[in-house]
Amino acid sequence: MTAALQARHVSKTFGGNRVLDDVSLAIEPGEVHGLLGQNGSGKSTLIKILAGYQDADPGAELLIGGHRVALPLPSGQSQSLGISTVHQHLALIPSLSVVENMLLGRLGRSNAMALSWRKARAECAAVFQRYGLEIDPAATVSGLSAIERAMVAIVRAVEDLGLRSSGSGPGVLILDEPTPFLPKQDVETLFALVRRIVARGASVLFVSHDIDEVREITDRATVLRDGRLAGTIDTKASSRDEIIKLIIGRALRADRPASEVAQGAPAKVAVTGLSGGGVKGVDFDLQPGEILGLTGLLGSGFESVVYMLYGAIPRTTGTLRIEDETTPLAEATPARSIAAGTVLIPGDRNARAAIGILPIADNVTMPVLSRKLNKWFVRRGPMHQLAQDLGRQFGVVPNRPEQPLSSLSGGNAQKVVIAKWLQTDPRLILLDEPTQGVDVGARELVFDAIRGATRKGAAVICASSDYEQLAMLCDRVLVFADGRVGAELNGEQISKQSIAETCLRGASKLPDAL
Ligand SMILES: Nc1ncnc2c1ncn2[C@@H]1O[C@H](COP(=O)(O)OP(=O)(O)OP(=O)(O)O)[C@@H](O)[C@H]1O
């Protein structure tokens, strides 16, 4: 069978640093092919080369549908050659309608004056119907749910492939980590769409850190390790442990660590009457060193809690007590929270937690410039030394503080953000999806760092819809439903399965199996 896409001998060097080394990859027609590897293993670089955003080093070869294609791909031409990419940020314009977004690529190439919007909407509706989607072409993208936005971007990418001129097969759709921003229940909806796409003959290259998802949706997978090909596997025939071992070169720790929370100690943190942002009068408290998980279905209110406690959502009411200091949340602001020893590590690190164009050293030392370094003027030597030490401690790869943060892979950038706040020895750590985009091996490092902070007495609140993460990390999990705490899971009750079941039952009662 002629491969839908074949890449051979792909290498890439940045300033003397070889990040891809003689990688080869073949994707069959109608196949969902996984691309796996630790943070910084070279997945995005490979995709950027396949999508024509980046040149490969000399010697690389690319065949699409058996036809040799000259590298580098001409800028903006990858779709006409049969490769379409959907990145995590989706590249939709929120203020435009669905149909306008669907036509974005084509508008640039055609005479827009001659466009009939009525006809375009009807065609768009017919396309959505073909894929079994119920999305109004006239709706504004900003009003769509996360899963609807993802599906619009994916269908647009596939349709743009269908318009290409070359006759070399139905093409390859690259999905670059499409699921981390989606609630778990919507992942199935997305997978149904992926199955429909491959049933129509196209192939999909699926990049993900979620091993269970990879085993569910892909047929085979290529694994990169340190920029080299670690292997190509039949995912259905491979166990979870085998895949993890190929990715990180070792096995993960088997069990969740036993809770270290001292029973019966007075609460260190107490939240009372928390209301606003979809939350309706919630009370809970935390023991010193406790890691409390918050979860639920999207819209159940759990997603807002850490931002409300940090003072980042206006019109929040209730109180937050840390040890013997009580703050009315109506008066909380991020600056006051930081001064009181509360830190927030947000989910959207690119927009809210880091400045990509600044060096890693500047990003990571920002909260401690006056405390740990010279208060009156910035000396880069000590700043670099501190950044280097933190990079080592948190496993940032490559550990080069002078590089811009944006040159790090997604997962390594997240480690920098976590290091930046944990070094401040906070009393309360607020986390929103702390290991989104972080690979399975590095997750252990991040979890260890968070547990290290709890040993120093910090309390942690972790909001997440990643049930596996909650099961590995938390001493207790509160499952939200309709703005309130619907169920509480403790100790042995906590597992990925039990959290998923409790969420899906509307959090009205504990799972039968418990
Ligand atoms: N423009 C660049 N300049 C310098 N180094 C870069 C650049 N882009 C990527 N790198 C380096 O190349 C290596 C591979 O990065 P890449 O983003 O491909 O990894 P990845 O496997 O996609 O990681 P993640 O899972 O974290 O997204 C990393 O060490 C990264 O720092």
CATH number, position 330: 3.40.50.300
CA nearest 71: which of 42, 40, 43, 48? 48
Q: Which two tokens stand for residue 181?
A: 């921003």
Per-position pLDDT tens, the chain of length 514: 789 999 999 999 998 889 999 999 999 999 999 999 998 899 999 999 998 889 999 999 999 988 898 888 877 778 888 899 998 778 899 999 999 999 887 776 666 667 788 898 999 999 999 888 899 999 999 999 888 999 999 999 988 887 544 455 678 999 998 776 676 678 888 899 999 999 988 999 999 988 889 999 999 999 999 999 999 999 999 999 999 999 988 877 766 777 777 777 788 999 999 999 789 999 999 999 999 999 998 788 999 999 999 999 988 999 999 999 999 999 999 999 999 999 999 877 777 788 999 999 999 998 888 777 676 777 888 889 999 999 998 889 899 999 999 988 877 888 899 999 999 999 999 999 998 878 888 888 889 889 999 998 899 999 998 888 999 999 999 999 999 999 999 988 999 889 988 987 764 444 443 3
| Polymer length of the chain | 514
Q: Do 359 and 242 reside in the same domain of the chain?
A: no
Taking each continuous run of H as one helix and of E as one strand, the counts in the chain are 18, 20
Ligand 1 pocket member 407 (CB < 6 A): yes
Q: Do 301 and 403 reside in the same domain of the chain?
A: yes
What are the backbone dihedrals phi and psi of residue 269, each rounded to the nearest 5 degrees, phi first? -130, 135
Q: Do 179 and 323 reside in the same domain of the chain?
A: no
For the chain, the domain total comes to: 2
- Determine the residue type at 225: R
Indicate whether 119 belongs to any domain: no
- Which of 38, 402, 407 is the best mutation target for the ligand 1 pocket, counting ligand atoms within 8 Å of the beta carbon and taking the most? 407
Q: Whose CA is nearest to atom 6 of ligand 1?
A: 407
Is there a contact between 320 and 269 (Cβ–Cβ < 8 Å)?
A: yes
Looking at residue 254, what is its pLDDT? 66
Q: Where are the beta strands (DSSP E) in 314-468?
A: 317-322, 325-328, 342-345, 428-432, 459-463
What is the interface pTM, i.e. ipTM, of the complex?
0.98
Pairwise CA distance, residues 55 & 46, whole Å: 10
Q: Do 281 and 201 reside in the same domain of the chain?
A: no
Pairwise CA distance, residues 388 & 82, whole Å: 43
What residues form DSSP beta bridges with 17?
Answer: 14
Q: Whose CA is nearest to atom 13 of ligand 1?
A: 40
Ligand 1 pocket member 409 (CB < 6 A): yes
Tell me: the pLDDT tens digits for 96-123? 999 999 988 777 666 666 778 889 899 9
Question: What CA–CA distances, in Å, run from 390 to 135, 407, 417, 457?
Answer: 46, 18, 11, 20
Indicate whether 301 belongs to any domain: yes
Q: Whose CA is nearest to atom 19 of ligand 1?
A: 40
Question: What CA–CA distances, in Å, run from 218 to 197, 204, 282?
Answer: 13, 9, 41
| 3-class DSSP assignment, residue 33 | strand
Question: Of 198, 219, 248, which residue sits at a domain end?
Answer: 248
CA nearest 197: which of 5, 29, 43, 36? 29
Can you give the residue range of the structural domain that contains 12?
5-93+168-248
Q: Which two tokens stand for residue 155?
A: 């269908």
Q: Do 397 and 495 reside in the same domain of the chain?
A: yes
> Distance, CA 46 to ligand 1 centroid (Å)?
10
Ligand 1 pocket member 41 (CB < 6 A): yes
Tell me: the pLDDT tens digits for 234-271? 999 999 999 999 998 887 776 677 777 777 778 899 99
